[in-house]
Structure 1
Amino acid sequence: MRADQIPLSRGAFARMATLDLDVPAVLDHAGLPRALMSEARPMLTTAQFFAFWHAVEAVCRDPSLGLRLGDGTRSEVYDMVTAAALHSGTLGGALDKLARYKRLTCPEDVVVELGRDEAAVSMRWMLAEGHTPRLLVDAMFASNFALAERGTGRALHLRRIELTRRPADGTLLHAHFRCELRFNAPQDRIVYARSDLDLPFVTQDDGHLADLLPVLEGSLREQTAATPLRDKVWNVLSRGMRGGHLRMAQVAEALHLSPRTLQRRLGEVGTSYQQVLDQVRHQLARRLLDATDLDVGEIAFLLGFEELNSFNRAFRQWEGATPARWRTTIAG
């Protein structure tokens, strides 16, 4: 897994300022030094990055700020991965590159799930403990949508936006994305029509892509080799928490290992498949109970528990209370 470093830039701070965000006040509220604004390439941990975005929500009175920040992708390219996506031949190729390389720039996992008629893109911060700040989710989706429309050179008709947040007034989101909104979702996802993946990119540039891909592939090989096995297992499990139970054999296959080898190698680093599975379930259970109104039974299903009682017992071991009581307690 990539080191817990998320790069910002003075350009990002400048863009926030042009959108009337009081960046010094945000940094103060987040407990971060104002000196970050003068650094050429400041780095934040995931916890600091989330604290920054929570501070944005607290300080900023404009609920459209996340959308407007993300929409900057219509005219700017922020990193090498975005450039590679923009130079792809089709929308599908662009999304594939984001999914393959995004974690090289920060500990964010992008997943593209293909259905018969849909292509869903989800984004997950791999080292986050709490749920993703609302304006950050808006910015990520707006950026992805802006890249898709910039690349294709046309207005796209999304299927829907799925949000792991409680139902709220979606007027701004609906006006921006022009599609159905679904709240209380198990994952934050932007859903395209699958046929749109074949749309050609007017920004295609094979020459630039030929220069970028070898660099990205080399970096990916280095990162993969340096990623601990426990983190790889965690990532596969986190991606698969959408109902049903991921068997160890399925995870082993995804990592190109035999189940026996997977279990042995996890044991060598002092853990086991079941321990990692429990840790992933625990973290996701806390997020969903905190951020959504999903029924406890629905959460149990998403986490792969066959019975609600099994989930209740496991959660009581983790937190010393049932999921329902824990949710009531944190709600105040």
Structure 2
Amino acid sequence: MSNGFEIEQRGPTDRSRNILAAAATGVADFIVQTGGRPEAVFERVGIDPTCLGRKHSALDLADYVAMMEEAARETGNDNFGLRFGQRYQPHMLGLIGEIALAAPTLGSAIEHLALWFPWHQQATETRLARRDGFLRLEYRILDGSIVDRRQDAELTMGMFANVFRACLPSGWAPEIVLFEHARPTAWRDHEAAFDAEVEWSQGTNALVFRDRGLDRAMPHADLSRLQRLTTDLADVAGSRGTPAFLDLVRGEIRRRLSAGTIHLEQIADALSTTSWTLQRRLGDLGATFSELIEVTRLDLARHYLRQAHLPLGDVAFLLGYSEASAFSRAFSRWTGCSPRQWRRLSRPAATPQLMSRT
């Protein structure tokens, strides 16, 4: 491991993590409506705005996620993704939205959404699961190198909810909404937007809903069109994509951090491999399992510390520490300063003297 906890990857990264540009349909207009300058957002992230909204064009997933985070900063709207997602109708999503709308029933639409969304947005896991008597439409980005991704999660949950609302009577709401990120300042806005209880710092993002109304016909069902659309999406995307291997491991570590101690066997099982094979592959890439845990903790620590409303005790818990003092000692070892000092110096008005050391 080099200075600053950067892992040097040896050999090809075999990374494929695109998202079809239709996912950004209307984002420029919404930035303007919320008081921002879209051209400034696109320039800072390095996105060509001419491709946004095109069904058959693609963006790098990390750039797309960064665009949503930058839009929140540019507009001063901390709930940018939440608000954009609430107005984002399925047809705006391009091929994946059209697939959901062409399905014969709501249940089929949700199944197709879970099956095909990783083709629309690579390096992503979506699945329809049953747990505790409820169904869950789950979503998460697999790439652990994409750290700041709250706006994308809230946007995507809003998109998913609007598939239900395209079919069910007015007033439909999920039972619970889950988010993997920590609770934001204006969290009551989320409960109002979804008309549901919201739980934070979960292992995935999900809509939790009852098993009823799923046999209801979709208003624009068309089986022959559905088949053509799925074939088109497979041809355009090429695959479900994959993060670089180290980023995939970091993603699985991130998912489990708040539970406390993470074992190599857990991650190997999640990746459908053996502990020995996982260790060997990490070694081939110049990394160890313990190093990846620290890299993941440091990246997330900096992410959480930038959120001034989160107490240090909560940050410690989210990173898997039982006590804030243990987190403080680890962070001081990583960066040369305490979490409190780093938070103060990372404020926009402060000179980031110590940030360069990380």
After superposition, the C-alpha distances for 1:236-286 in whole angstroms (9 at most, x for unaligned) are: 223333423332112212222111111112212222222222222222232
1:242/1:91 Cα in 2 relative to 1: closer, same or farther (>3 Å)? Answer: farther
1:155/1:200 Cα in 2 relative to 1: closer, same or farther (>3 Å)? Answer: farther
Q: Are 1:319 and 2:331 matched, yes or no?
A: no
* Distance in 2 between residues matched to 1:310 and 1:64, nearest whole Å: 32
- The partner residue of 1:82 within 82, 97, 101 is 97
Counterpart position of 2:158? 142
Counterpart position of 1:238? 254
Q: Does the CA contact (< 8 Å) of 1:27 and 1:34 recur in 2? A: no
Q: How does 1:186-201 map to 2 (within 5 A)?
A: 189-195=205-211, 199-201=214-216
Counterpart position of 1:268? 284
Scaled by the length of structure 1, the TM-score of the pair is 0.72
* Distance in 2 between residues matched to 1:232 and 1:10, nearest whole Å: 23
Q: How many residues in Structure 1 have an aligned counterpart in Structure 2?
A: 326
Judge which range, 239-248 or 162-171, deviates more: 162-171
Counterpart position of 1:180? 197
- The partner residue of 2:182 within 164, 187, 196 is 164
Q: Are 1:3 and 2:16 matched, yes or no?
A: yes
* Distance in 1 between residues matched to 2:140 and 2:323, nearest whole Å: 28
By how many angstroms is 1:145 displaced? Answer: 0.9
Q: Does the CA contact (< 8 Å) of 1:36 and 1:42 recur in 2? A: no
Q: What residue identity is the alignment partner of 1:81? A: I
Counterpart position of 1:104? 119
Q: How does 1:1-332 map to 2 (within 5 A)?
A: 3=16, 5-8=18-21, 12-13=25-26, 16-17=28-29, 21=33, 25-31=37-43, 36-37=49-50, 43-46=58-61, 48-50=63-65, 52-54=67-69, 56-57=71-72, 60=75, 66=81, 69-71=84-86, 73-74=88-89, 76-87=91-102, 94-95=109-110, 97-107=112-122, 109-111=124-126, 115-118=131-134, 119=136, 121-124=138-141, 126=143, 129=146, 131-132=148-149, 134=151, 136-152=152-168, 155-161=171-177, 162=179, 164-168=182-186, 170-171=188-189, 173-181=190-198, 185=201, 189-195=205-211, 199-203=214-218, 205-211=222-228, 222-223=239-240, 228-291=244-307, 293-305=309-321, 308-331=324-347
Q: What residue identity is the alignment partner of 2:286? A: G
Percent of pairs with identical residues: 20
Q: Does the CA contact (< 8 Å) of 2:204 and 2:255 recur in 1? A: no
More relative contact order, 1 or 2 (CA 8 Å, 6+ apart): 2
* Distance in 2 between residues matched to 1:186 and 1:69, nearest whole Å: 22
* Distance in 1 between residues matched to 2:244 and 2:285, nearest whole Å: 9
* Distance in 1 between residues matched to 2:120 and 2:23, nearest whole Å: 17
1:165/1:254 Cα in 2 relative to 1: closer, same or farther (>3 Å)? Answer: closer
User: Unaligned regions of 5+ residues in structure 2, if any?
Assistant: 1-13, 351-358
Q: Does the CA contact (< 8 Å) of 1:164 and 1:187 recur in 2? A: no
1:108/1:288 Cα in 2 relative to 1: closer, same or farther (>3 Å)? Answer: farther
After superposition, the C-alpha distances for 1:55-86 in whole angstroms (9 at most, x for unaligned) are: 54455588887556434554615233334444
Q: Does the CA contact (< 8 Å) of 2:174 and 2:207 recur in 1? A: yes
Judge which range, 200-209 or 145-154, deviates more: 200-209
Q: What residue identity is the alignment partner of 1:104? A: W
Q: Does the CA contact (< 8 Å) of 2:23 and 2:93 recur in 1? A: no
Q: Does the CA contact (< 8 Å) of 2:279 and 2:289 recur in 1? A: yes
Across the aligned residues of Structure 1 and Structure 2, the Cα RMSD in angstroms comes to: 4.4
1:23/1:51 Cα in 2 relative to 1: closer, same or farther (>3 Å)? Answer: farther
Q: Does the CA contact (< 8 Å) of 2:103 and 2:226 recur in 1? A: yes
* Distance in 1 between residues matched to 2:216 and 2:84, nearest whole Å: 23
* Distance in 2 between residues matched to 1:62 and 1:96, nearest whole Å: 33
Give the helix-richer structure, 1 or 2: 1
Judge which range, 297-306 or 56-65, deviates more: 56-65
User: Unaligned regions of 5+ residues in structure 1, if any?
Assistant: none
